[in-house]
Amino acid sequence: MLVTFPPEVLELSEKFTNSAHELYLIGGAVRDLLMGKTIYDWDFTTDATPEEILQILGPDAYYNNTFGTVGYPGPEGERPFEITTYRTEAGYSDARHPDELNWGKSLEEDLTRRDFTINAMALRLASLAQGKPTDQNIIDLFGGQLDLKAKLIRAVGDPAERFREDALRMMRAVRIASELGFTIEEATFNAIKMHSGATQKVSRERVREELFKIMASRYPYEGVLLLHGTGLMDEILPELSKTFGVEQKSPGRHHIYDVGTHCLMALKNCPSSDPLVRFATLIHDIGKPQTFAIKEGITTFYNHEVIGARIAKNIAARLRFPKKDADRLFKLVRWHQFTVTENQTDKAIRRFITKVGRDNVEDMLALRTGDRLGGGSSETSWRLEEFKKRLVEVQKQPFSVQDLKVNGKDVMDTLSLKPGPKVGEILNELFKKVEEKEVDNEREVLLAKLRSFN
């Protein structure tokens, strides 16, 4: 391994060496370095206390948070460096006022409290020759380098104990596995299975954060498989767990998978990289278990999108989705059954756009692509392609008075009117004419029409 560090890192390291203190690059930064990735989070650890760090670094240093982490300007345009004194425990999730007594005495103690072997390595900076780290500079007490090579997420120490200490680590294991395309090592996996219930103790915001990171990751499908296999899904998305094993094969129907597997396959094939759209695709059929019925030998799920949207709303509330995300999730699930027959009127297509929201139309189509591919159909059909063209076509027409190429001021200027309800009435009249295609939504045309009202 031969990497050249930015000069800012070497200068930082020199400051600590000069004052007889140790400084190490730590955690995810070392992991990323060893994987040949660009480092975004420059995290360091040292034996110096927070006060000493401030003294060593001078006036540019500042307390970063209430846990004694010190911030210091990093390379131009990058995130600031974060320097933390050795710790003995993962105090950052609960402990609000760590004091000197919480500080660890050694690097070893600090590494021992970290979650996974690949996250528990340090790189000694003090003795770097010309800024080029060599293998001798790596402190790897738990076989992190071997696990990196084997692509394994393995808990540091006894996994069960580590998950009892901090239940968030179980979601982190799945999340990091999905980001890196790694496997969870067997004993660690089994410990998650045993202790998944403790996830209920984790704040829902944190659970949502990890869930969204899984959705945004490179391997979201594998991530959801891990959630299912470890039992974490039963804890955080029990509604989705219920879709597994709900059969939908029926004579004359195209379905090849049970509902849960179809949901997973839809996610796998969803072309969007937006975590919320991916999540909507994952849960789009979540209303099916409740609406399952067999009528004359045919399996049906009438109104599953209505029930599904209600469930989506509950999930969003439970996991504290931001309002905008909750709203989008609801709409994507609620209207995912849209039909694309060739004999729909423009009005019907415009109604669809209004319901879904213009900003969500693209995402709705991404969900449909995932749905089709994840159900064994081809990516698209001529009907769907026609429908897409018509979506574009009908959007050339304005949806409301706000979309008209003239506004209230134009009306007042042209017709010498004072502000008042009359102005709105005239705009509405214009809008109706445009909607009925009597006149085009073009400024000159509309101004001419206005003049004719005189």
DSSP code at position 16: H
What distance in Å separates the CA atoms of residue 144 and residue 28, rounded to the nearest whole number?
11
Binding mask 31-50 for Mg ion (x = CB under 5 A): ----------x---------
The token pair that represents 131 in the structure block: 């800024």
168 binds ligand ATP (CB under 6 A): yes
322 CB burial (10 A radius; 0-12, 13-18, 19+): exposed
* Residues 35-54 close enough to bind ligand ATP by CB under 6 A: 41, 43
Q: Which is nearer to ligand ATP, 43 or 47 (CB)?
A: 43
Residue 80 is a binding residue for Mg ion (CB under 5 A): no
90 lines the binding site for ligand ATP (CB under 6 A): yes
Pick one of ligand ATP, Mg ion, none as the site partner of residue 325 (Cβ within 5 to 8 A by kind): none
Which three-class secondary structure state does DSSP give residue 63? strand
When asked if residue 442 is in the footprint of Mg ion (CB under 5 A), the reply is no
| Min CB(29)–Mg ion separation in Å | 7
- Residue whose tokens read 């039909």: 339
Residue 328 interface partner, choices Mg ion, ligand ATP, none, CB cut-off 5-8 Å depending on type = none
**How many C-beta neighbours within 10 Å does residue 237 have?**
24
Binding test (CB under 6 A) with ligand ATP, winner from 8, 15, 21, 28: 28
Token pair of 104, please?
Answer: 């660890």
Residue whose CB is less far from ligand ATP, 176 or 311: 176
Of 403, 398, 450, 399, the C-alpha closest to 429 is 450
The binder of 115, among ligand ATP, Mg ion, none, by C-beta within 5 to 8 A per type, is ligand ATP
Rg over alpha carbons for the chain, rounded to the nearest Å, is 29
Check if the beta carbon of residue 270 is closer than 8 Å to that of residue 277: yes
Asked if 353 touches ligand ATP (CB under 6 A), the answer is: no
For tokens 């939908």, the residue is 248
Q: Does 166 bind ligand ATP (CB under 6 A)?
A: yes
Sequence-ordered list of residues with C-beta below 8 angstroms from that of 312, at least 6 positions apart, any chain:
280, 283, 286, 329, 330, 333, 334
For Mg ion, which is the closer residue by CB, 84 or 243?
A: 84
User: Which entry of Mg ion, ligand ATP, none binds 119, CB below 5 to 8 A by partner kind?
Assistant: ligand ATP
Please, which residue, 196 or 360, has the CB nearer to ligand ATP?
196
Least separation in angstroms between residue 162's CB and ligand ATP is 8
Instruction: List the x/- string, 190-209, binding to ligand ATP by CB under 6 A.
Output: --------------------
Name the phi and psi angles at 301, rounded to 5: -140, 55
Among 9, 12, 27, 211, binds ligand ATP (CB under 6 A): 27
What's the CA angle centered on 427, arms 426 and 429, to 5 degrees?
65
Contact between 19 and 141 under an 8 Å Cβ cutoff? The reply is no
Residue 447 in the binding site for ligand ATP (CB under 6 A): no
Choosing among ligand ATP, Mg ion, none, which partner's interface includes residue 267 (Cβ < 5 to 8 Å by kind)? none
Whole-angstrom distance, CA of residue 154 vs CA of residue 187: 8
Q: Which residues of this protein are in contact with Mg ion, per CB under 5 A?
A: 28, 41
Q: Which residues of the shown chain bind ligand ATP in the complex (CB under 6 A)?
A: 27-28, 41, 43, 90, 114-115, 119-120, 166, 168-169, 172
